[in-house]
Amino acid sequence: MEQVQNIVSDRELQGSNLQTQEYFINVGPQHPSTHGVLHLKIKLDGEIIEDVDPILGYIHRSVEKMCEKLSYRQIIPITSRMDYLSAHINNQAVALAVEKAMAVEVPPRARAIRILMAELTRIGSHQLWWGVMGMDLGALTPFFWGFRDREMITEMFEETCGTRLTMNYIIPGGVATDVHPDFIGKVKNYIRHLRKKLPEYDEILTGNRIFIERTRGVGYLSPEEAVSFGCTGPTARGSGVSCDIRKWHSYDGYDKLDFNEVLFNEGDNLARYKVRIKEIWESLRIIEQVVENFPEGEVMGKMKKVIKLPKGEFYQRVETARGELGVYIVSDGGNTPYRIKFRSPNFSNLSVLKKIVVGSKIADMVATMSTLDLVIPDIDR
Amino acid sequence: MIITALIIAISVITLFAVLGLVLVYMERKVAAFMQIRLGPMRVGPWGIAQTLADTVKLISKEDIIPNGADKFLFNLAPLMVTVIATLALAPLPFSDKWIIWDSNVGVFYVAAISSLTVISILTGGWASNNKYSLIGAMRSGAQIVSYELSVGLSLVAMVLLSGSLSFSDIVMTQQDAWWIFKGHLPAWIAFMVFIIASTAELNRNPFDLPEAESELTAGFHTEYSGMKFALFMLSEYINMFIVSAVAATLFLGGWMPLHFGQDNFFNHIMDYIPPLVWFAGKVFFIIFLIMWFRWTFPRLRIDQLLTLEWKYLLPISLINVLAAAWITVTGWHF
Amino acid sequence: MKAILFYIFSVLILACGIFTVTSRKIYRAAIFLLLTVVSVAALYFLMEYTFLGVVQLVIYAGGIVVLILFAVLLTHDSGSLLPPLGVKRTVATFALTGTGLTVFLYTILGRKVEPGSGEFNEPSVKMIGGQLLDLYNFGFVLPFEAISILLLAAMVGCIVLAMKFSKTMN
């Protein structure tokens, strides 16, 4: 054995003729696993990733600059197009920031509707993510199951808001119109439906041996790194970092509702997966509570025809399906913001990618990217 | 003799085309029903002409050869994969009278021919001059070469039990019961190992790493378009048919009707169903099984794939061969 | 019919053999080698010596050519043209192959070859197996075991080559 070792170490000393060579591949901007126009430049040694370099900007629309020329009501439709899977929650963030600046009281019914819409959005977003996660790991059936259940949510949105993806429904002062008369009944039906269907999700994907092998211990993100990279949402909560804005900086009456912040300490892909599945259950609980005590009354607070923010700086944060969305408005007293800045959750979540995939295999990178749940237009804005 | 050869050639090509159409249609329907969809419904009743329409589309598509590709090898690879799939059809008995070439080394021959498939995949991946294709080809090579061992050993176990390398002899040994019923533990283990390992050899989910859509876009056939792509697809389905036919013949009696014991009333009833129907039924059952895997399982990672083969399947099948030999020597099977 | 097929395959063997040596792309050379090997197998099948044909396919086509292809795939820059042979090498190669061909032709043309009489009976698999492990009657058990040891040594060598020792072990 020692002789063998000597031979091998001799070879290493001689500079080894068994050297391997790294090579680059470009994943994206058109690639099935990036779910958008993200471009990753990957340095590979065989199948193992040595370096990842995300290249952004393929879908940059200069949202922030555009907003400087738009009135506060016109900003709302622009935000719907950032994280298009959390359109309601993006709208809500701007609406809340404006209301905070103007000190407007939002009627209770509007607040209840906002919570309903936000939580339904969260469920829909997680369902879509769940299907795509399965697809990234090679199981195609979950994709269709997830979309089947998300479709019902989209239909409810369409009935009330008129659109399916970019809602523009939550506006400063309340919501645009009252909900459709059938809405509450349908939501109640949907809760019953989803409580039956969610265990099926576990049967086809969560309980699968291959799925667990593929996700457990893969893409480990330590809580310290999660904090230092500014990760939020399920990505950070999978590492045990408590960061739910709904709990810490409650808005629109979340503090009066009984729900838990979902935390897992493992920090791997499976933990991030479990967080999102559990969050669907928690969102169902929230919706149930709101629907049971659905207040009557106005859906629009007292707002002026032309919204003018007082001079100053305003910040509002909300919890989207992907993490913390911050809206920072600098106003010079006019009817357009002097400067507006969105702190989008996906940008920070993407930044951690390099940290957690280097050293793993290509297949693991795809799985990890999937559990980060990236929406590219929100990164580029 | 020339006329016989011509008739055989024409019928094999027809079988190829028909199988391709039927299996693609079946795959889409199976997938659709598992995914709460209807699948193709527009072309013809229940969409049965959909695959035909797709074939016309594929034929009429532009044939793209990427810059920097090795043209000769790029064109050779789809041809090779088709020829290899055709060759493997030869010794399979479709019924008691339908067999192209009743070889006395049929099982060995099919194993040998199917070991050539990897060459065409490697060639296609290498000649495309695309890194995704190259990674796909490398994965495919590692995968097929490893899983060939388990397939071979499970075949060896069955050859030991039946005492012959000829497919028609093996079918005849199952007159009193199929091997899956009378082969005891070795036959069951061999059946499971064979199904798992041959799914891997077919590059199908959960072992579809060489194609791995979400990782490598389409793996070794990323750059192929039109009819050349169709040939790769077609031969994948033909290979699936061959694998299922081999499994049906070795473990489920091939064209042999369901028999128990010798010459009793039950056997005579079963004999009324024609052998071809028995054969097709068993083959399509196993094909359905393989499709079922594809639409419910996630994909393995490359190291897990190799671990499964080298640490689990291979030792299991090695021990299984010993067990099969022991049972054959002591005559414990009936 | 058989004669036609025989000539087709013979031409294939010769042509692919020549292409194997003359091709300047290493991957193409390997593929031509594959075609040569498969054509030889086809000749065995034509002679109804199926067992040997299948063995030829498994070992040469499925084993050796696949190994060569793997090596090519793993090599950097395998797509480029190989450098052309110099004059010295070309002359040396022609001289060597010419000598070989002359000796070969002289040997077979100097003898009278008569067509075989009677039917050729392919030995059954059982006979081959028995002979392979036979201790007496000109059995092949000694070469069989010798080859096993050789393969074992090769396997150990492979493992040593592929093994990575941790730095702390030294």
Please give the CATH number for the structural domain made up of C1-82: 1.20.120.1200
Q: Which domains does chain A have, with CATH numbers?
A: 2-55 (no CATH), 63-380 (1.10.645.10)
Test C170 with A5 for CB contact under 8 angstroms: yes
- pLDDT band at residue C148 using 50, 70 and 90 as cut-offs: very high
Interface of A with B in 160-219 (CB under 8 A): 204-205, 208, 210-211, 213-214
Residue B223 exposure: Cα atoms within 13 Å on the Cβ side:
28
Instruction: Say yes or no to pLDDT of C20 above 90.
Output: no
Q: Which subunits sit against C, judged by 3+ Cβ pairs under 8 A?
A: A, B
Instruction: Say yes or no to pLDDT of C163 above 80.
Output: no
For B130-149, how does the pLDDT look when each residue is reduced to its tens digit (9 = 90+)? Answer: 888 888 888 888 888 888 88
Main-chain phi, psi angles of A255, to 5 degrees: -70, -20
**B137 & B265 share domain:** yes
Which pLDDT does position A13 carry in this prediction? 47
Test B37 with A144 for CB contact under 8 angstroms: yes
Test C66 with B115 for CB contact under 8 angstroms: yes
Test B214 with A211 for CB contact under 8 angstroms: no
Residue numbers of the domain that contains B170: 73-330
Show residues of chain C in contact with B76, CB under 8 Å. 31
Q: Determine the Cα–Cα distance for residues B88 and B243; give it in Å rounded to an integer.
A: 10
* Cβ neighbours, 10 Å, residue A120: 22
DSSP string, B247-284: HHHHHS-TT-----SSS-HHHHHHHTS-HHHHHHHHHH
Show residues of chain A in contact with C76, CB under 8 Å. 21
Instruction: Say yes or no to pLDDT of C170 above 50.
Output: no
Q: Determine the Cα–Cα distance for residues A6 and C139; give it in Å rounded to an integer.
A: 42
Q: What value does the mean pLDDT take over residues C109-114?
A: 77
Q: Determine the Cα–Cα distance for residues A74 and A78; give it in Å rounded to an integer.
A: 7
**B180 & B40 share domain:** no
Instruction: Say yes or no to pLDDT of C169 above 50.
Output: no
**Residue B181 lies inside a defined structural domain of this protein:** yes
For A341-375, how does the pLDDT look when each residue is reduced to its tens digit (9 = 90+)? Answer: 888 888 888 888 888 888 888 888 888 888 888 88
Interface pTM, i.e. ipTM:
0.81
Using CB atoms, pick whichever of C1, C62, C124 lies closest to residue B112. C62
Q: What value does the mean pLDDT take over residues A264-284?
A: 89
**Residue B260 lies inside a defined structural domain of this protein:** yes
Q: Is A5 on the interface with C (CB under 8 A)?
A: yes
Show residues of chain B in contact with C55, CB under 8 Å. 112
Show residues of chain A in contact with C165, CB under 8 Å. 5, 8-9
**B49 & B154 share domain:** no
Residue ending a domain, among B38, B60, B82, is B60
- pLDDT band at residue A16 using 50, 70 and 90 as cut-offs: very low
**Residue B85 lies inside a defined structural domain of this protein:** yes
Radius of gyration of chain C (CA): 21
Q: In chain A, which residue's Cα lies nearest the Cα of C157?
A: A4
**Residue B11 lies inside a defined structural domain of this protein:** yes
Which pLDDT does position B89 carry in this prediction? 85
Q: Which subunits sit against A, judged by 3+ Cβ pairs under 8 A?
A: B, C
**B10 & B155 share domain:** no
For B282-302, how does the pLDDT look when each residue is reduced to its tens digit (9 = 90+)? Answer: 899 999 989 888 888 888 888
Give me chain A's average pLDDT, please: 85
Per-residue exposure over B26-54, b if at least 16 CB sit within 10 Å of its own CB, e if not: bbbbbbbebbeeebbeeeeeebeebbeeb
Show residues of chain B in contact with C61, CB under 8 Å. 112, 115-116, 119
Q: Determine the Cα–Cα distance for residues C93 and A184; give it in Å rounded to an integer.
A: 89
Beta-ladder partners of A331:
A312
Main-chain phi, psi angles of B177, to 5 degrees: -170, 155
Instruction: Calculate what percentage of chain B has a pLDDT beyond 70.
Output: 99
Using CB atoms, pick whichever of C76, C161, C169 lies closest to residue A5. C169
Longest Cα–Cα distance in chain C: 70
Number of domains in chain B: 2
Q: In chain A, which residue's Cα lies nearest the Cα of B293?
A: A139
For C63-76, how does the pLDDT look when each residue is reduced to its tens digit (9 = 90+)? Answer: 888 888 888 877 76
Q: Which subunits sit against B, judged by 3+ Cβ pairs under 8 A?
A: A, C
Is residue B332 within 8 A of residue B186, CB to CB? The reply is no
Is residue B222 within 8 A of residue B133, CB to CB? The reply is yes
Instruction: Say yes or no to pLDDT of A7 above 70.
Output: no
Which pLDDT does position C103 carry in this prediction? 92
Contacts of residue A181, defined as CB under 8 A and 6 or more positions apart, other chains included, come to none
Comparing B1 with A52, the larger pLDDT belongs to A52
**B86 & B145 share domain:** yes
**B151 & B23 share domain:** no
**B116 & B233 share domain:** yes
- pLDDT band at residue C166 using 50, 70 and 90 as cut-offs: low
Radius of gyration of chain A (CA): 23
